[in-house]
A and B are shown apart, each in its own frame.
Chain A
Amino acid sequence: KAGVTQTPRYLIKTRGQQVTLSCSPISGHRSVSWYQQTPGQGLQFLFEYFSETQRNKGNFPGRFSGRQFSNSRSEMNVSTLELGDSALYLCASSLATSGRRDTQYFGPGTRLTVL
């Protein structure tokens, strides 16, 4: 079974631009969560989507948004990029048959650099 895939793997943008990251979950997984990882910080939760609906949201500004499609693929968008948005963005999928206790399976991440 194919794992979680994320595209692109690397991205360089300039301040003020916007960016869209894509995540394809493991086949059959209905929940997709997004995280931001910066050096010295743990994974910061952005949001979780389940069956095309945002089920939970972290403490990030409205510049960060996401969506999920009917095939469970998810996209994350960041508008008006700031230097501090440079980070590794990780996507994780889970079956979500029993809620949050399900194991999350992570993709390799997208490394975003904002210049």
Chain B
Amino acid sequence: DQQVKQNSPSLSVQEGRISILNCDYTNSMFDYFLWYKKYPAEGPTFLISISSIKDKNEDGRFTVFLNKSAKHLSLHIVPSQPGDSAVYFCAASADSNYQLIWGAGTKLIIKP
């Protein structure tokens, strides 16, 4: 039973346009969400996070939106750059333990 789902295995976006990566979760106890980026042959690197008390968090070109009623979050990258081509993972955790639950990842390809 996948508690965190990233339904798009891959996404292709033109350079300069907006990239929108989506993530759905099923566990209503999740109250903290993170996005990580992973390049080939490297470990994931932290990108941005959001607590369930907020519905939006912004950091430069990256914005994460949280819709608690829909159990959905999205990562917006504006404008998309070639260096953004990577696999993006969504992860979530609940207050009850230390464990992060991860989605399967979405491969983002930025076309020149």
Contact = CB atoms under 8 A, between A and B. Distances in A.
B57 interface: no
Interface stretch (A12-20, A75-83, A98-106): A98-106
A42 B45 contact: no
A58 B104 contact: no
B102 A106 contact: no
B42 A43 contact: no
A92 B98 contact: no
Given A56-B98, A100-B93, A107 B104 contact: no
Max count, chain A CB within 10 A of own CB: residue among B93, B98, B100: B98
Interface string A44-67: 110010000001101000000000
A42 B4 contact: yes
Interface size class of B (residues with CB under 8 A): 20 to 34
B35 to A, nearest CB: 12
B4 A108 contact: no
Nearest to B51: A101
A25 interface: no
Contact of A108 (B2, B41, B101, B105): B41
A40 interface: yes
Given A56-B98, A104-B100, A108-B41, A43 B89 contact: yes
A32 interface: no
Nearest to B3: A42
Interface of A: 4, 35, 40-45, 48, 55-56, 58, 90-92, 99-101, 103-109
Please list the 9 inter-chain residue pairs (A to B) with the smallest Cβ-Cβ separation, ordered nearest first. Answer: A106-B43, A42-B102, A100-B98, A43-B102, A42-B104, A103-B46, A56-B98, A106-B44, A42-B103
12 contacts: A40-B9, A45-B102, A48-B99, A55-B98, A58-B99, A100-B99, A100-B100, A103-B49, A105-B43, A106-B45, A107-B43, A108-B43
